[in-house]
Amino acid sequence: MLIDLLHYEFLQRAFIASGIVALVAGVVGYFLVLRGQTFAGHALSHVGFAGATGAVLIGLSPLLGMIIFSVAAGIGMGLLGERLSGRDVAIGIILALALGLGLLFLNLGQSNPAQATALLFGSVLAVSPAMLNDLIILAVVTLIALALIGRPLLFASLRPALAEAKGVSVRVIGIMFLAILALAVVQSAQIVGVLLVFTLLVGPPASAQLLTKRFLPGVLLSAVLAILQAWLGIAIAYNTNWPTSFCITALAALVYVIAVATHGRHVRA
């Protein structure tokens, strides 16, 4: 079945794009879940939506707008640090406002419903060669940046007080990670949309952390699960005519439920 699907160029691009994005999401998402900052991915996706639609309104690339807004928001959240902790109401209002602004920009720009649907729920089957090139570049930048701060990031995530005492700037590392997370969110949104970013950034890493306590195997398992769920989701969607984002989301949820049922531990939320 998979070989037959690869006869079509648009499906080839879909598999390559989703594989690249899933790899990034699985690796970055592992740190996201480990640090207990899953709300950040959700927040950045909504802000990115406003940036994408605002960019379209003034004639710029939606991807560029999403990158600028998401990275700026990530850095801003990092600078605020602990002052954002526990402020669920304020965060919820900001998320709703960002989504509302995105819809307003779509309306002002008189964008068609298909564009709004693609931004909200992803459009992996419509990935163009240019978009694929952009995703490859973003993935390389994101993974290199994460590799550069990987060791101090892990130290700061597991033992923040000790890391600070050893000379690691936990705050700076946190800001850098949120900027990297913003890039991962932008990429994930191209596949599953801004409303379902949790699918790739949280689902596979959460399952991986239930299945193994070891760091490197956990990161690798998270990436593998994300890639397999993305690819299988595309295959199921193509053969059933169901939405691709739904298929990927359902698989992520199924794997997580199985992980909980078989291991019975809970990851940090």
CATH number, domain of 175, equals: 1.10.3470.10
For range 159-165, the mean pLDDT: 89
pLDDT tens-digit map of 106-133: 788 766 666 667 777 778 888 889 999 9
pLDDT at 176 over 90: yes
Q: Can you give the pLDDT at residue 269?
A: 44
Question: How confident is the prediction for the chain on average, in pLDDT?
Answer: 86
Mean pLDDT of 25-37: 93
Q: Residue 36: left (phi > 0), alpha (psi -120 to 50), or beta?
A: left
**Looking at residue 121, what is its pLDDT?**
77
Residue 269 lies in a domain: no
Q: How confident is the model at residue 197 (pLDDT cuts 50, 70, 90)?
A: confident
**Locus of tokens 């899933």:** 22
Domain limits for position 82: 2-263
**Is residue 104 one of the residues assigned to a domain?**
yes
pLDDT per residue as tens digits for the range 44-65: 888 888 888 888 888 888 889 9
The total domain count for the chain is 1
Contacts of 53 (CB under 8 A, 6+ apart): 62, 65, 101, 102, 103, 105, 106, 109, 111, 119
The pLDDT of residue 83 is: 56
Global pTM?
A: 0.89
pLDDT > 60? residue 156: yes
Residue 136 DSSP SS3: helix
Residue 85 lies in a domain: yes
| Residue at 268 is within a domain | no
Neighbours of 81 (CB within 10 A): 12
Whole-angstrom Cα distance, residue 70 to residue 48?
5
Q: Label residue 64 exposed, middle or buried (CB < 10 Å: 0-12, 13-18, 19+).
A: middle
